[in-house]
């Protein structure tokens, strides 16, 4: 999640037992041009047993291959290619969800990356460009043919953005045909929903994104661990991480944003 899952937020989710963590969206070209801002987005905190991936987007497979040498220096465990970003400035460059419009080219794109890097390769995608271009089956096959380790599917099209509901029936259909692990994503707000989606779809795992903003304890709840839901304790822990990584102004902005997520749904918030 761009602008959200920075090193401080990921560290907090690590402590909440998220298990596998992925960075915010990182520009391969920004890494190629040695952008300080882009490099900061890849800072990694790792505790024993934690798996961390860096999510990249790029206009060409060559851009991504060149940037992975920088990714390797961070200690990341895998590279995730974003095929789902719906933002106009990203898709206008042929990146993000735009790559799903041509599954044949996507296979070439991913195969070129796979051959040029040493880290495991994964992808995250949507169900298609719009309801008339549901290319998810073809794109999952392209990921399989190119040697990806798994595919994460957000159950909406690019046209939907985050409107409507995630189509978990389609995710289940894809899982029934896929030859590689499928991770489902979309509209999971609590542990019961996560377990229900796993049971109903047969997915190998679920990815939780926006649901963790308002319920950061969701990962502990999924693991059956006492979550000890204390917003004050969580805010203090997050503030400690912010102070280690940001200046005062940025710390205040990010803390205010995080506080608003936690307060959502409380009377008077």
Quick one: tokens of 62? Answer: 């060559």
Tens digits of per-residue pLDDT, 151-203? 999 999 999 999 999 999 999 999 999 999 999 999 999 999 999 999 999 99
What is d(CA 184, CA 205) in angstroms, rounded to the nearest whole number?
6
What three-state secondary structure class fits 209? coil
Please confirm, yes or no, whether 85 is among the known catalytic residues.
yes
Per annotation, catalytic residue among 8, 85, 95, 222: 85
- Name the DSSP class of 67: H
Listed by start position, the domains of the chain span 19-207
For the beta carbon of residue 11, count every other beta carbon within 10 angstroms: 23
pLDDT at 267: 45
Q: Measure CA 267 to chain center.
A: 31
Average pLDDT over residues 141-158: 98
Tens digits of per-residue pLDDT, 10-46? 999 998 889 899 999 999 988 877 777 888 888 887 7
- Nearest partner of 254 among 243, 268, 263, judged by Cα: 243
What is d(CA 208, CA 98) in angstroms, rounded to the nearest whole number?
23
Residue 42, φ and ψ in degrees, nearest 5: -100, 5
Q: For 164, what's the count of Cα atoms within 13 Å in the CB-facing half-sphere?
A: 13
Does 3 score more than 90 pLDDT? Answer: no
What is d(CA 264, CA 20) in angstroms, rounded to the nearest whole number?
26
Whole-angstrom CA distances from 143 to 103, 147, 193, 266 are 9, 6, 27, 42
Tell the residue number behind the tokens 């390769």, with chain if given. Answer: 121
Does 249 score more than 90 pLDDT? Answer: yes
- Sorted by sequence, the CB contacts under 8 Å of residue 47 that are 6+ apart come out as 14
- Sorted by sequence, the CB contacts under 8 Å of residue 161 that are 6+ apart come out as 86
Tens digits of per-residue pLDDT, 216-246? 999 999 988 877 777 888 889 889 889 988 8
- Name the DSSP class of 204: S
Under 8 Å between Cβ of 217 and 229: yes
What is d(CA 146, CA 240) in angstroms, rounded to the nearest whole number?
42
Q: How confident is the model at residue 131 (pLDDT cuts 50, 70, 90)?
A: very high
Does 251 score more than 60 pLDDT? Answer: yes
Under 8 Å between Cβ of 6 and 24: yes
Percent share of the chain, pLDDT over 70: 97
Under 8 Å between Cβ of 100 and 128: yes
19-207 is a CATH 3.40.50.720 domain? no
Whole-angstrom CA distances from 72 to 2, 69, 75, 139, 192 are 21, 5, 6, 26, 36
Q: Which residues pair with 83 in a beta bridge?
A: 125
């Amino acid at each position: 999640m761009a602008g959200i899952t920075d090193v401080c937020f990921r560290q907090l989710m690590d402590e909440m037992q998220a298990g596998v963590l992925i960075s915010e969206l990182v520009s391969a070209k920004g890494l190629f041009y040695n952008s300080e801002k882009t490099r900061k987005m890849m800072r990694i905190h790792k505790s024993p047993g934690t798996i961390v991936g860096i999510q990249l987007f790029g206009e060409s497979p060559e851009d991504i291959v060149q940037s992975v040498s920088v990714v390797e220096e961070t200690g990341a465990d895998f590279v995730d290619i974003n095929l789902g970003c719906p933002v106009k400035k990203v898709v206008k460059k042929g990146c993000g969800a735009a790559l799903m419009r041509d599954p044949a080219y996507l296979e070439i794109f991913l195969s070129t990356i796979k051959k040029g890097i040493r880290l495991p390769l994964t992808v995250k995608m949507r169900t298609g460009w719009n309801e008339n271009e549901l290319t998810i089956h073809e794109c999952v096959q392209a990921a399989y043919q190119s040697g990806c380790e798994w595919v994460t599917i957000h159950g909406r099209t690019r046209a939907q953005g985050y409107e409507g509901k995630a189509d978990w029936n389609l995710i289940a259909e894809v899982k029934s045909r896929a030859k590689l692990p499928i991770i489902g994503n979309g509209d999971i707000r609590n542990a019961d929903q996560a377990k229900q989606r796993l049971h109903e779809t047969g997915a190998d795992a679920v990815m939780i994104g926006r649901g963790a903003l308002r319920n950061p304890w969701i990962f502990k709840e999924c693991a059956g661990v006492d979550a000890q839901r204390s917003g004050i304790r969580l805010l203090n822990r997050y503030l400690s991480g912010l102070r280690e990584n940001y200046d005062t102004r940025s710390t205040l902005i990010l803390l205010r944003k995080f506080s608003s997520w936690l307060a959502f749904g409380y009377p008077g918030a």
